[in-house]
Structure 1
Amino acid sequence: MTLLAFDRYCDEIALQVARFAELVTAPGTDLTATVPTCPDWTVEELTRHMGEALRWVEVTVRTRAEREVESQDVPDGAGPAARGDAAALAAWFTEGGEKTVRTLREAGPEAGVWGWAGVHTAAFWARRMTHEITVHRADAALAVGAPYEVAGEVAADAIDEWLEIVTFVQRTDPHDAARELRGAGPDGTRSIHLHATDAPGLDAEWLIELGADGVAWRRGHERATVAVRGPLTAVLLAFYRRAPLDGGEVEVLGDRAVLDFWLERATFG
Protein backbone atom coordinates (compact mmCIF):
# COMPACT_ATOMS: atom_id res chain seq x y z
CA MET A 1 0.00 0.00 0.00
CA THR A 2 1.46 3.34 -1.10
CA LEU A 3 0.36 6.61 0.47
CA LEU A 4 -0.50 9.63 -1.65
CA ALA A 5 2.08 12.39 -1.79
CA PHE A 6 1.98 14.92 1.06
CA ASP A 7 1.20 17.77 -1.34
CA ARG A 8 -1.61 15.70 -2.84
CA TYR A 9 -3.25 15.45 0.58
CA CYS A 10 -2.88 19.20 1.10
CA ASP A 11 -4.37 19.89 -2.31
CA GLU A 12 -7.29 17.60 -1.55
CA ILE A 13 -8.03 19.27 1.78
CA ALA A 14 -8.15 22.63 0.00
CA LEU A 15 -10.48 21.21 -2.67
CA GLN A 16 -12.79 19.57 -0.14
CA VAL A 17 -12.95 22.76 1.95
CA ALA A 18 -14.05 24.73 -1.10
CA ARG A 19 -16.68 22.16 -2.09
CA PHE A 20 -17.99 21.89 1.46
CA ALA A 21 -18.33 25.68 1.70
CA GLU A 22 -20.23 25.69 -1.60
CA LEU A 23 -22.76 23.27 -0.11
CA VAL A 24 -23.25 25.54 2.91
CA THR A 25 -24.06 28.58 0.77
CA ALA A 26 -25.91 26.81 -2.05
CA PRO A 27 -29.41 28.12 -2.79
CA GLY A 28 -31.95 26.10 -0.85
CA THR A 29 -29.53 24.75 1.78
CA ASP A 30 -31.31 24.53 5.12
CA LEU A 31 -28.74 24.85 7.88
CA THR A 32 -31.26 23.47 10.39
CA ALA A 33 -31.85 20.26 8.43
CA THR A 34 -30.85 17.02 10.16
CA VAL A 35 -27.91 15.18 8.62
CA PRO A 36 -29.27 11.67 7.89
CA THR A 37 -25.90 9.95 8.35
CA CYS A 38 -25.11 11.92 11.54
CA PRO A 39 -28.61 12.35 13.00
CA ASP A 40 -27.40 14.12 16.14
CA TRP A 41 -26.28 17.06 13.99
CA THR A 42 -27.86 19.64 11.74
CA VAL A 43 -26.06 20.87 8.63
CA GLU A 44 -24.81 23.85 10.61
CA GLU A 45 -23.58 21.69 13.48
CA LEU A 46 -21.79 19.37 11.04
CA THR A 47 -20.09 22.38 9.45
CA ARG A 48 -19.04 23.76 12.83
CA HIS A 49 -17.69 20.34 13.86
CA MET A 50 -15.60 20.06 10.71
CA GLY A 51 -14.46 23.67 10.92
CA GLU A 52 -13.38 23.27 14.53
CA ALA A 53 -11.52 20.05 13.66
CA LEU A 54 -9.58 21.85 10.93
CA ARG A 55 -8.56 24.65 13.29
CA TRP A 56 -7.65 22.12 15.98
CA VAL A 57 -5.30 20.35 13.60
CA GLU A 58 -3.83 23.69 12.54
CA VAL A 59 -2.93 24.49 16.15
CA THR A 60 -1.66 20.95 16.74
CA VAL A 61 0.73 21.10 13.79
CA ARG A 62 1.75 24.76 14.10
CA THR A 63 2.74 24.38 17.76
CA ARG A 64 4.34 20.96 17.19
CA ALA A 65 2.16 19.71 20.03
CA GLU A 66 3.53 16.81 22.04
CA ARG A 67 0.14 15.95 23.52
CA GLU A 68 -3.50 16.41 22.61
CA VAL A 69 -4.53 20.06 22.27
CA GLU A 70 -7.48 21.12 24.41
CA SER A 71 -10.46 22.57 22.57
CA GLN A 72 -10.29 25.80 24.57
CA ASP A 73 -6.80 26.37 23.16
CA VAL A 74 -8.11 26.58 19.59
CA PRO A 75 -8.65 30.24 18.60
CA ASP A 76 -12.12 30.92 17.18
CA GLY A 77 -12.84 27.21 17.24
CA ALA A 78 -16.54 27.58 17.97
CA GLY A 79 -17.31 29.58 14.87
CA PRO A 80 -19.59 32.61 14.36
CA ALA A 81 -21.65 33.65 17.36
CA ALA A 82 -24.79 34.08 15.28
CA ARG A 83 -26.48 30.96 13.98
CA GLY A 84 -28.22 30.59 10.66
CA ASP A 85 -25.88 32.89 8.71
CA ALA A 86 -24.64 30.72 5.85
CA ALA A 87 -22.24 33.32 4.46
CA ALA A 88 -20.54 33.91 7.82
CA LEU A 89 -20.39 30.19 8.53
CA ALA A 90 -18.83 29.41 5.15
CA ALA A 91 -16.32 32.26 5.49
CA TRP A 92 -15.21 31.01 8.93
CA PHE A 93 -15.02 27.44 7.62
CA THR A 94 -12.99 28.47 4.56
CA GLU A 95 -10.58 30.58 6.61
CA GLY A 96 -9.90 27.66 8.95
CA GLY A 97 -9.31 25.31 6.05
CA GLU A 98 -6.90 27.70 4.37
CA LYS A 99 -4.95 28.16 7.61
CA THR A 100 -4.72 24.40 8.08
CA VAL A 101 -3.44 23.76 4.56
CA ARG A 102 -0.92 26.60 4.84
CA THR A 103 0.37 25.32 8.19
CA LEU A 104 0.69 21.77 6.90
CA ARG A 105 2.65 22.90 3.84
CA GLU A 106 4.96 25.08 5.95
CA ALA A 107 5.58 22.21 8.39
CA GLY A 108 6.31 19.57 5.76
CA PRO A 109 5.53 15.86 6.06
CA GLU A 110 8.31 14.93 8.50
CA ALA A 111 7.60 17.57 11.13
CA GLY A 112 7.23 15.89 14.50
CA VAL A 113 3.84 16.36 16.14
CA TRP A 114 1.50 14.44 18.42
CA GLY A 115 -0.82 11.94 16.73
CA TRP A 116 -3.24 9.41 18.13
CA ALA A 117 -2.72 6.46 15.76
CA GLY A 118 0.94 5.71 16.28
CA VAL A 119 2.20 8.13 13.60
CA HIS A 120 3.70 11.35 15.01
CA THR A 121 4.26 13.55 11.97
CA ALA A 122 2.44 16.27 10.08
CA ALA A 123 1.95 13.74 7.28
CA PHE A 124 -0.45 11.83 9.54
CA TRP A 125 -2.62 14.92 9.93
CA ALA A 126 -2.58 15.75 6.23
CA ARG A 127 -3.90 12.29 5.45
CA ARG A 128 -6.32 12.16 8.38
CA MET A 129 -7.93 15.49 7.56
CA THR A 130 -8.17 14.62 3.88
CA HIS A 131 -10.41 11.70 4.70
CA GLU A 132 -12.20 13.37 7.59
CA ILE A 133 -13.45 16.16 5.37
CA THR A 134 -13.99 13.90 2.35
CA VAL A 135 -16.43 11.75 4.32
CA HIS A 136 -18.08 14.64 6.15
CA ARG A 137 -18.61 16.39 2.82
CA ALA A 138 -20.53 13.28 1.81
CA ASP A 139 -22.64 13.75 4.95
CA ALA A 140 -23.33 17.35 3.95
CA ALA A 141 -24.12 16.44 0.35
CA LEU A 142 -26.57 13.76 1.45
CA ALA A 143 -28.24 16.22 3.83
CA VAL A 144 -28.83 18.85 1.14
CA GLY A 145 -29.54 16.43 -1.72
CA ALA A 146 -26.44 17.36 -3.72
CA PRO A 147 -24.41 14.99 -5.91
CA TYR A 148 -21.20 13.61 -4.47
CA GLU A 149 -18.01 12.44 -6.10
CA VAL A 150 -14.41 11.97 -5.04
CA ALA A 151 -11.21 11.16 -6.92
CA GLY A 152 -10.55 7.44 -7.17
CA GLU A 153 -7.13 7.51 -5.54
CA VAL A 154 -8.53 9.49 -2.60
CA ALA A 155 -11.46 7.09 -2.15
CA ALA A 156 -9.14 4.07 -2.25
CA ASP A 157 -6.76 5.63 0.27
CA ALA A 158 -9.72 6.46 2.53
CA ILE A 159 -10.60 2.76 2.67
CA ASP A 160 -6.97 1.89 3.40
CA GLU A 161 -6.83 4.42 6.22
CA TRP A 162 -10.13 3.24 7.73
CA LEU A 163 -8.80 -0.32 7.82
CA GLU A 164 -5.52 0.83 9.35
CA ILE A 165 -7.36 2.74 12.07
CA VAL A 166 -9.64 -0.18 12.93
CA THR A 167 -6.70 -2.57 13.21
CA PHE A 168 -4.73 -0.01 15.26
CA VAL A 169 -7.61 0.42 17.71
CA GLN A 170 -8.05 -3.32 18.08
CA ARG A 171 -4.33 -3.86 18.59
CA THR A 172 -3.66 -1.03 21.06
CA ASP A 173 -6.84 -0.11 22.93
CA PRO A 174 -9.73 -2.35 21.98
CA HIS A 175 -13.17 -1.45 23.24
CA ASP A 176 -15.86 -4.13 23.54
CA ALA A 177 -17.05 -3.82 19.94
CA ALA A 178 -13.50 -4.00 18.56
CA ARG A 179 -12.77 -7.10 20.65
CA GLU A 180 -15.74 -8.84 19.06
CA LEU A 181 -14.07 -8.54 15.66
CA ARG A 182 -11.40 -10.94 16.90
CA GLY A 183 -12.03 -14.64 16.51
CA ALA A 184 -12.86 -17.05 13.74
CA GLY A 185 -16.38 -18.12 12.95
CA PRO A 186 -17.63 -21.71 13.27
CA ASP A 187 -16.26 -22.54 9.81
CA GLY A 188 -12.95 -20.74 10.18
CA THR A 189 -11.84 -17.17 9.48
CA ARG A 190 -14.62 -14.83 8.37
CA SER A 191 -13.69 -12.50 5.55
CA ILE A 192 -14.97 -9.54 3.54
CA HIS A 193 -14.04 -8.66 -0.01
CA LEU A 194 -14.48 -5.11 -1.33
CA HIS A 195 -14.48 -4.84 -5.11
CA ALA A 196 -14.62 -1.52 -6.95
CA THR A 197 -15.89 -2.22 -10.44
CA ASP A 198 -14.85 1.05 -12.07
CA ALA A 199 -11.20 1.57 -11.02
CA PRO A 200 -9.02 -1.20 -12.50
CA GLY A 201 -5.87 0.91 -12.55
CA LEU A 202 -6.03 1.53 -8.81
CA ASP A 203 -6.02 -2.10 -7.63
CA ALA A 204 -9.19 -1.09 -5.77
CA GLU A 205 -10.00 -4.42 -4.16
CA TRP A 206 -9.53 -5.44 -0.54
CA LEU A 207 -9.68 -8.61 1.53
CA ILE A 208 -10.42 -8.21 5.25
CA GLU A 209 -10.04 -11.25 7.49
CA LEU A 210 -11.51 -11.56 10.98
CA GLY A 211 -9.32 -14.25 12.49
CA ALA A 212 -8.39 -15.52 15.92
CA ASP A 213 -5.42 -13.12 16.02
CA GLY A 214 -7.50 -10.09 15.07
CA VAL A 215 -8.24 -8.16 11.91
CA ALA A 216 -5.89 -8.49 8.94
CA TRP A 217 -6.31 -6.96 5.51
CA ARG A 218 -4.61 -6.55 2.16
CA ARG A 219 -5.32 -5.30 -1.31
CA GLY A 220 -6.26 -7.94 -3.85
CA HIS A 221 -8.92 -10.04 -5.54
CA GLU A 222 -9.70 -13.09 -3.39
CA ARG A 223 -12.69 -15.17 -2.43
CA ALA A 224 -14.37 -14.21 0.84
CA THR A 225 -17.31 -15.02 3.09
CA VAL A 226 -19.09 -11.93 1.77
CA ALA A 227 -18.32 -9.50 -1.03
CA VAL A 228 -19.36 -5.90 -1.73
CA ARG A 229 -19.23 -4.87 -5.38
CA GLY A 230 -19.92 -1.55 -7.01
CA PRO A 231 -18.41 1.77 -8.13
CA LEU A 232 -15.55 2.87 -5.90
CA THR A 233 -17.35 5.90 -4.44
CA ALA A 234 -20.38 3.74 -3.64
CA VAL A 235 -18.18 1.08 -1.99
CA LEU A 236 -16.48 3.81 0.05
CA LEU A 237 -19.78 5.27 1.27
CA ALA A 238 -21.24 1.86 2.10
CA PHE A 239 -18.11 0.82 3.98
CA TYR A 240 -18.12 4.07 5.94
CA ARG A 241 -21.81 3.52 6.72
CA ARG A 242 -22.81 6.57 4.69
CA ALA A 243 -24.97 4.68 2.21
CA PRO A 244 -27.37 1.76 2.72
CA LEU A 245 -26.33 -1.64 1.46
CA ASP A 246 -29.77 -2.03 -0.09
CA GLY A 247 -29.77 1.33 -1.86
CA GLY A 248 -28.97 -0.13 -5.28
CA GLU A 249 -25.47 1.33 -5.59
CA VAL A 250 -23.60 -1.76 -4.37
CA GLU A 251 -24.20 -5.50 -4.61
CA VAL A 252 -23.69 -7.76 -1.60
CA LEU A 253 -22.80 -11.39 -2.37
CA GLY A 254 -22.48 -14.14 0.23
CA ASP A 255 -23.08 -14.06 3.95
CA ARG A 256 -24.51 -10.58 4.57
CA ALA A 257 -24.46 -11.20 8.35
CA VAL A 258 -20.63 -11.05 8.36
CA LEU A 259 -20.69 -7.65 6.70
CA ASP A 260 -23.34 -6.35 9.09
CA PHE A 261 -21.28 -7.70 11.99
CA TRP A 262 -18.26 -5.71 10.79
CA LEU A 263 -20.17 -2.49 10.11
CA GLU A 264 -21.68 -2.52 13.58
CA ARG A 265 -18.31 -2.93 15.31
CA ALA A 266 -15.60 -1.30 13.20
CA THR A 267 -15.13 2.19 14.67
CA PHE A 268 -12.41 4.65 15.65
CA GLY A 269 -12.84 3.58 19.25
Structure 2
Amino acid sequence: METGRHIDALERAGLDFVDAAERAGLDTPVPTCPEWTVRELVQHLGYVHRWAATYIRDRRPTMLTDTEEAEAVGPMPADADLVAWFQTGHTALVDLLRTADPALACWHFLPSGSPLAFWARRQAHETTIHRADLQGATGPMSGVDADLGIDGIDELLMGFYATTRARRLRCDTPCTLSVHATDGANCEGPHSWTVHMHPTGATITRNPSPTPTLTPGPAPTPTPATTPLSTATSPTPAPPTPAPPTSAPPTPAPPTSAPPTSATCTLRGPASDLYLALWNRRPTTDLHVEGDESVLTQWRTRATIRWT
Protein backbone atom coordinates (compact mmCIF):
# COMPACT_ATOMS: atom_id res chain seq x y z
CA MET A 1 0.00 0.00 0.00
CA GLU A 2 1.45 3.35 -1.02
CA THR A 3 2.46 5.96 1.55
CA GLY A 4 -0.02 8.44 0.08
CA ARG A 5 -2.87 6.02 0.72
CA HIS A 6 -1.74 5.64 4.33
CA ILE A 7 -1.75 9.41 4.79
CA ASP A 8 -5.23 9.65 3.27
CA ALA A 9 -6.42 6.89 5.63
CA LEU A 10 -4.88 8.72 8.60
CA GLU A 11 -6.64 11.94 7.63
CA ARG A 12 -10.02 10.26 7.15
CA ALA A 13 -9.77 8.25 10.38
CA GLY A 14 -8.90 11.37 12.36
CA LEU A 15 -11.93 13.24 11.05
CA ASP A 16 -14.17 10.30 11.89
CA PHE A 17 -12.54 10.07 15.32
CA VAL A 18 -13.54 13.68 16.05
CA ASP A 19 -17.12 13.04 14.94
CA ALA A 20 -17.35 9.97 17.19
CA ALA A 21 -15.84 11.80 20.17
CA GLU A 22 -18.29 14.68 19.84
CA ARG A 23 -21.25 12.32 19.60
CA ALA A 24 -20.18 10.19 22.54
CA GLY A 25 -19.15 12.81 25.10
CA LEU A 26 -15.96 12.67 27.14
CA ASP A 27 -17.34 10.66 30.07
CA THR A 28 -18.59 7.73 27.97
CA PRO A 29 -16.76 4.44 28.65
CA VAL A 30 -14.94 2.79 25.73
CA PRO A 31 -15.60 -0.99 25.97
CA THR A 32 -12.69 -2.01 23.73
CA CYS A 33 -10.25 0.05 25.82
CA PRO A 34 -11.07 -1.19 29.33
CA GLU A 35 -10.97 1.40 32.11
CA TRP A 36 -10.80 4.25 29.59
CA THR A 37 -13.44 6.83 28.78
CA VAL A 38 -13.60 8.88 25.60
CA ARG A 39 -11.58 11.52 27.44
CA GLU A 40 -8.59 9.18 28.00
CA LEU A 41 -8.72 7.90 24.44
CA VAL A 42 -8.72 11.41 22.94
CA GLN A 43 -5.82 12.34 25.22
CA HIS A 44 -3.93 9.18 24.23
CA LEU A 45 -4.28 9.59 20.48
CA GLY A 46 -3.56 13.31 20.58
CA TYR A 47 -0.42 12.49 22.57
CA VAL A 48 0.65 9.82 20.08
CA HIS A 49 0.19 12.14 17.10
CA ARG A 50 2.40 14.82 18.68
CA TRP A 51 4.97 12.22 19.69
CA ALA A 52 5.14 10.83 16.15
CA ALA A 53 5.27 14.30 14.59
CA THR A 54 8.34 15.15 16.65
CA TYR A 55 10.43 12.41 15.00
CA ILE A 56 9.36 13.53 11.53
CA ARG A 57 9.66 17.28 12.05
CA ASP A 58 12.99 17.14 13.90
CA ARG A 59 14.43 14.20 11.95
CA ARG A 60 15.09 12.73 15.34
CA PRO A 61 17.59 9.82 15.00
CA THR A 62 17.09 8.31 18.47
CA MET A 63 14.19 7.58 20.77
CA LEU A 64 13.00 10.49 22.89
CA THR A 65 13.66 10.37 26.60
CA ASP A 66 10.66 10.63 28.91
CA THR A 67 11.48 14.28 29.61
CA GLU A 68 11.89 15.13 25.93
CA GLU A 69 8.65 13.35 25.11
CA ALA A 70 6.72 15.29 27.74
CA GLU A 71 8.13 18.57 26.44
CA ALA A 72 7.28 17.66 22.83
CA VAL A 73 3.67 16.80 23.64
CA GLY A 74 3.04 19.60 26.13
CA PRO A 75 0.36 19.77 28.84
CA MET A 76 -3.06 18.21 28.46
CA PRO A 77 -5.78 20.78 27.78
CA ALA A 78 -8.97 21.30 29.74
CA ASP A 79 -12.00 19.25 28.70
CA ALA A 80 -13.54 22.17 26.80
CA ASP A 81 -10.47 22.37 24.57
CA LEU A 82 -9.65 18.68 24.28
CA VAL A 83 -11.22 17.84 20.91
CA ALA A 84 -9.83 21.01 19.31
CA TRP A 85 -6.40 20.12 20.75
CA PHE A 86 -6.67 16.70 19.15
CA GLN A 87 -7.65 18.23 15.79
CA THR A 88 -4.65 20.56 15.84
CA GLY A 89 -2.21 17.72 16.43
CA HIS A 90 -3.86 15.45 13.87
CA THR A 91 -3.81 18.13 11.16
CA ALA A 92 -0.17 18.95 11.89
CA LEU A 93 0.82 15.28 11.59
CA VAL A 94 -1.01 14.83 8.28
CA ASP A 95 0.59 17.98 6.88
CA LEU A 96 4.06 16.91 8.04
CA LEU A 97 3.72 13.52 6.38
CA ARG A 98 2.40 14.99 3.14
CA THR A 99 5.28 17.44 2.81
CA ALA A 100 8.09 15.26 4.21
CA ASP A 101 11.14 14.40 2.14
CA PRO A 102 10.78 10.79 0.92
CA ALA A 103 14.42 10.33 1.96
CA LEU A 104 13.61 11.38 5.54
CA ALA A 105 15.86 9.64 8.08
CA CYS A 106 14.61 9.36 11.67
CA TRP A 107 13.96 6.84 14.43
CA HIS A 108 11.24 4.22 13.92
CA PHE A 109 10.51 0.93 15.61
CA LEU A 110 9.19 -1.60 13.08
CA PRO A 111 10.73 -2.91 9.84
CA SER A 112 9.80 -0.68 6.91
CA GLY A 113 10.97 0.42 3.50
CA SER A 114 11.66 3.90 4.86
CA PRO A 115 11.03 5.95 8.02
CA LEU A 116 8.40 8.01 6.17
CA ALA A 117 6.57 4.87 5.05
CA PHE A 118 6.72 3.52 8.60
CA TRP A 119 5.24 6.61 10.28
CA ALA A 120 2.50 7.03 7.68
CA ARG A 121 1.50 3.38 7.97
CA ARG A 122 1.71 3.16 11.76
CA GLN A 123 -0.28 6.33 12.38
CA ALA A 124 -2.90 5.35 9.80
CA HIS A 125 -3.59 2.11 11.66
CA GLU A 126 -3.22 3.62 15.13
CA THR A 127 -5.86 6.20 14.27
CA THR A 128 -8.15 3.82 12.38
CA ILE A 129 -8.28 1.32 15.25
CA HIS A 130 -8.98 4.03 17.81
CA ARG A 131 -11.62 5.51 15.51
CA ALA A 132 -13.30 2.11 15.69
CA ASP A 133 -12.97 2.16 19.49
CA LEU A 134 -14.80 5.48 19.73
CA GLN A 135 -17.52 4.46 17.31
CA GLY A 136 -18.03 1.24 19.26
CA ALA A 137 -18.63 3.23 22.44
CA THR A 138 -22.01 4.40 21.14
CA GLY A 139 -22.90 2.16 18.20
CA PRO A 140 -21.52 0.01 15.39
CA MET A 141 -17.96 0.35 14.14
CA SER A 142 -17.39 1.28 10.52
CA GLY A 143 -15.26 -1.05 8.45
CA VAL A 144 -12.29 -0.17 6.27
CA ASP A 145 -11.42 -0.58 2.60
CA ALA A 146 -10.01 -3.98 1.72
CA ASP A 147 -6.53 -2.67 0.94
CA LEU A 148 -6.25 -0.95 4.32
CA GLY A 149 -7.56 -4.05 6.10
CA ILE A 150 -5.06 -6.34 4.37
CA ASP A 151 -2.23 -3.92 5.06
CA GLY A 152 -3.25 -3.61 8.72
CA ILE A 153 -3.34 -7.36 9.22
CA ASP A 154 0.11 -7.61 7.69
CA GLU A 155 1.47 -4.85 9.93
CA LEU A 156 0.02 -6.51 13.02
CA LEU A 157 1.29 -10.01 12.23
CA MET A 158 4.55 -9.34 10.37
CA GLY A 159 5.42 -6.04 12.03
CA PHE A 160 4.49 -6.41 15.69
CA TYR A 161 4.34 -10.16 16.22
CA ALA A 162 7.15 -11.23 13.93
CA THR A 163 9.50 -9.34 16.26
CA THR A 164 10.36 -9.82 19.93
CA ARG A 165 6.65 -9.40 20.75
CA ALA A 166 6.17 -12.92 19.35
CA ARG A 167 6.90 -14.29 22.82
CA ARG A 168 3.59 -12.86 24.01
CA LEU A 169 1.87 -15.50 21.88
CA ARG A 170 3.61 -18.44 23.55
CA CYS A 171 1.45 -21.37 24.60
CA ASP A 172 2.12 -24.72 26.24
CA THR A 173 0.49 -26.78 23.50
CA PRO A 174 1.66 -25.85 19.99
CA CYS A 175 -1.11 -24.76 17.65
CA THR A 176 -1.53 -22.99 14.34
CA LEU A 177 -3.91 -20.20 13.36
CA SER A 178 -4.38 -19.71 9.63
CA VAL A 179 -5.88 -16.38 8.51
CA HIS A 180 -7.36 -15.81 5.04
CA ALA A 181 -8.85 -12.63 3.61
CA THR A 182 -11.58 -13.51 1.12
CA ASP A 183 -11.74 -10.17 -0.69
CA GLY A 184 -9.38 -7.53 -2.05
CA ALA A 185 -8.42 -9.46 -5.16
CA ASN A 186 -7.02 -6.28 -6.72
CA CYS A 187 -5.06 -5.29 -3.62
CA GLU A 188 -1.32 -5.66 -3.33
CA GLY A 189 0.27 -7.79 -0.65
CA PRO A 190 -0.49 -11.14 0.95
CA HIS A 191 -4.03 -12.25 1.61
CA SER A 192 -3.15 -15.17 3.88
CA TRP A 193 -0.94 -15.68 6.94
CA THR A 194 -0.02 -18.58 9.23
CA VAL A 195 0.65 -18.09 12.94
CA HIS A 196 2.46 -20.99 14.62
CA MET A 197 2.20 -20.56 18.41
CA HIS A 198 4.45 -22.68 20.64
CA PRO A 199 5.98 -22.70 24.14
CA THR A 200 8.59 -20.03 23.36
CA GLY A 201 6.51 -17.64 21.26
CA ALA A 202 5.26 -17.62 17.68
CA THR A 203 6.51 -18.00 14.14
CA ILE A 204 4.49 -16.10 11.57
CA THR A 205 4.67 -16.41 7.80
CA ARG A 206 2.94 -14.91 4.81
CA ASN A 207 1.37 -17.44 2.49
CA PRO A 208 1.67 -17.06 -1.29
CA SER A 209 -1.24 -15.15 -2.79
CA PRO A 210 -3.38 -17.28 -5.11
CA THR A 211 -2.96 -16.72 -8.82
CA PRO A 212 -6.14 -15.14 -10.20
CA THR A 213 -8.17 -17.39 -12.47
CA LEU A 214 -8.80 -15.69 -15.81
CA THR A 215 -12.06 -16.41 -17.59
CA PRO A 216 -11.41 -16.77 -21.32
CA GLY A 217 -13.36 -14.37 -23.48
CA PRO A 218 -14.82 -15.00 -26.94
CA ALA A 219 -12.43 -15.83 -29.73
CA PRO A 220 -11.36 -12.75 -31.70
CA THR A 221 -12.87 -12.17 -35.11
CA PRO A 222 -10.27 -12.90 -37.79
CA THR A 223 -9.13 -9.89 -39.82
CA PRO A 224 -7.20 -9.87 -43.07
CA ALA A 225 -3.50 -9.98 -42.33
CA THR A 226 -1.13 -7.66 -44.14
CA THR A 227 1.83 -9.25 -42.36
CA PRO A 228 2.69 -12.95 -42.71
CA LEU A 229 1.25 -14.83 -39.73
CA SER A 230 4.68 -16.23 -38.89
CA THR A 231 6.02 -12.74 -38.17
CA ALA A 232 2.90 -10.96 -36.86
CA THR A 233 2.91 -9.94 -33.21
CA SER A 234 0.11 -9.19 -30.78
CA PRO A 235 0.24 -6.29 -28.35
CA THR A 236 0.88 -7.24 -24.74
CA PRO A 237 -2.39 -6.74 -22.88
CA ALA A 238 -2.31 -4.03 -20.21
CA PRO A 239 -2.70 -5.19 -16.61
CA PRO A 240 -6.18 -4.75 -15.16
CA THR A 241 -6.76 -1.38 -13.54
CA PRO A 242 -7.42 -1.79 -9.80
CA ALA A 243 -10.83 -0.65 -8.62
CA PRO A 244 -10.79 2.62 -6.68
CA PRO A 245 -10.63 2.06 -2.93
CA THR A 246 -14.12 3.45 -2.40
CA SER A 247 -15.76 0.96 -4.74
CA ALA A 248 -17.38 -2.21 -3.50
CA PRO A 249 -14.94 -5.13 -3.25
CA PRO A 250 -15.35 -7.91 -5.79
CA THR A 251 -17.36 -10.92 -4.76
CA PRO A 252 -14.82 -13.43 -3.46
CA ALA A 253 -14.49 -16.73 -5.22
CA PRO A 254 -14.95 -19.83 -3.04
CA PRO A 255 -11.70 -21.38 -1.80
CA THR A 256 -10.31 -23.79 -4.36
CA SER A 257 -7.66 -25.40 -2.20
CA ALA A 258 -6.80 -26.16 1.40
CA PRO A 259 -4.54 -23.82 3.38
CA PRO A 260 -0.87 -24.31 2.58
CA THR A 261 -0.19 -25.73 6.04
CA SER A 262 -2.25 -27.86 8.38
CA ALA A 263 -3.93 -25.48 10.82
CA THR A 264 -5.44 -26.09 14.23
CA CYS A 265 -7.87 -23.27 13.45
CA THR A 266 -8.60 -21.40 10.23
CA LEU A 267 -10.22 -17.96 10.18
CA ARG A 268 -11.66 -16.62 6.93
CA GLY A 269 -13.57 -13.47 6.13
CA PRO A 270 -13.49 -10.03 4.52
CA ALA A 271 -10.27 -8.13 5.21
CA SER A 272 -12.08 -5.37 7.12
CA ASP A 273 -13.66 -7.85 9.54
CA LEU A 274 -10.44 -9.82 10.00
CA TYR A 275 -8.53 -6.59 10.66
CA LEU A 276 -10.84 -5.52 13.47
CA ALA A 277 -11.11 -9.06 14.85
CA LEU A 278 -7.35 -9.64 15.03
CA TRP A 279 -6.97 -6.27 16.76
CA ASN A 280 -9.59 -7.60 19.23
CA ARG A 281 -12.15 -4.96 18.27
CA ARG A 282 -14.93 -7.30 17.11
CA PRO A 283 -15.99 -10.92 17.68
CA THR A 284 -15.38 -13.70 15.19
CA THR A 285 -18.77 -15.35 15.61
CA ASP A 286 -19.99 -14.24 12.17
CA LEU A 287 -16.75 -15.13 10.38
CA HIS A 288 -15.91 -18.50 8.87
CA VAL A 289 -14.08 -20.54 11.51
CA GLU A 290 -12.81 -24.08 10.97
CA GLY A 291 -11.18 -26.24 13.61
CA ASP A 292 -10.46 -25.60 17.27
CA GLU A 293 -12.00 -22.27 18.27
CA SER A 294 -10.04 -22.22 21.52
CA VAL A 295 -7.10 -21.02 19.40
CA LEU A 296 -9.02 -17.78 18.81
CA THR A 297 -9.65 -17.46 22.54
CA GLN A 298 -5.93 -17.81 23.08
CA TRP A 299 -5.25 -15.13 20.47
CA ARG A 300 -7.71 -12.72 22.13
CA THR A 301 -6.08 -13.31 25.51
CA ARG A 302 -2.47 -12.96 24.43
CA ALA A 303 -2.48 -10.65 21.41
CA THR A 304 -2.40 -7.28 23.15
CA ILE A 305 -0.18 -4.46 21.92
CA ARG A 306 1.46 -2.45 24.69
CA TRP A 307 4.37 -0.05 24.41
CA THR A 308 6.32 -1.86 27.13
Instruction: Please give the alpha-carbon distance, in whole angstroms, between the structure 1 residues aligned to 2:34 and 2:197.
Output: 29
Q: After superposition, what is the alpha-carbon deviation per residue over 1:133-157, rounded to whole angstroms, capped at 9, x for unaligned?
A: 1111111110121441211111110
Higher-Rg member (1/2): 2
Partner of 1:207: 194
CA RMSD of aligned residues (A): 2.4
- List aligned pairs for 1:49-198, cutoff 5 A: 49-69=44-64, 70=66, 71-76=69-74, 78=76, 80-81=77-78, 83=79, 85=80, 88-119=81-112, 121-164=115-158, 165-170=160-165, 174=167, 177-178=168-169, 180=170, 185=174, 190-198=175-183
1:237 matched to 2:230? The reply is: no
Q: Distance in 2 between matches of 1:77 and 1:242?
A: 30
- What TM-score do the two structures reach when normalised by structure 2? 0.72
The match for 1:258 is 295
Q: Is the CA contact (8 Å cut-off) linking 1:107 and 1:122 kept in structure 2?
A: yes
- Tell me, yes or no, if the aligned pair for 1:141 and 1:147 is still in contact at 8 Å: yes
How far residue 161 of structure 1 moved from its aligned partner, in angstroms, is 0.2
Quick check: 1:25 aligned with 2:62?
Answer: no
How far 1:184 moved relative to its partner?
7.0
Shift of 1:15: 1.0
Instruction: Tell me how far apart the structure 2 counterparts of residues 198 and 117 of structure 1 sit (CA, whole Å).
Output: 26
Q: SS of 1:110's equivalent?
A: coil
Mapped contact 1:169–1:268 kept (Cα < 8 A): no
Unmatched runs of 5 consecutive residues or more in structure 1:
none
1:5 is matched with which residue?
2
Number of the residue aligned with 2:247: none
The alpha-carbon deviation at position 230 of structure 1 amounts to: 2.6
Looking at structure 1, the residues matched to 102 and 39 of structure 2 have their Cα atoms a distance apart, in angstroms, of 32
Selected match of 1:43 from 27, 38, 44: 38
d(CA) in 1 for partners of 2:179 and 2:14? Answer: 28
Percent identical residues: 32
Change (3 A) 1:110 1:191: farther
2-side partners of 1:126 and 1:217: how far apart? Answer: 24
Matched-pair contact (CA < 8 Å) for 2:153–2:274: no
Q: 1:170/1:22 Cα in 2 relative to 1: closer, same or farther (>3 Å)?
A: closer
| Cα drift, residue 6 of structure 1 | 1.3
2:264 to 205, 214, 225: 225
Q: Which has the higher helix share?
A: 1
Provide, for residues 24-81 of structure 1, a one-character-per-residue CA deviation record: whole Å limited to 9, x for no partner: 223xx23211110101210121111111101110112111112222331224452x22
Contact 1:241 1:263 in 2 (8 A): yes
**CA drift at 1:262:** 2.9
Give the 3 Å change call, closer, same or farther, for CA 132–106 of structure 1 in structure 2: same
1:237 is displaced (CA, Å) by 1.4
Equivalent of 1:14 in 4, 11, 14: 11
Distance 2:106 2:28 in 1: 37
Consecutive unaligned residues of structure 2, counting only runs of 5 or more, are 210-257
Shift of residue 118, structure 1, vs aligned partner: 4.5
Instruction: Give the AA of the match of 1:230.
Output: G
Question: For this pair of structures, how many residues does the alignment match?
Answer: 247
Counterpart of 1:127 in structure 2: which amino acid? R
Report the alpha carbon displacement of residue 214 of structure 1 after superposing the two structures with TM.
4.0
CA distance in 1, matches of 2:137, 2:279: 16
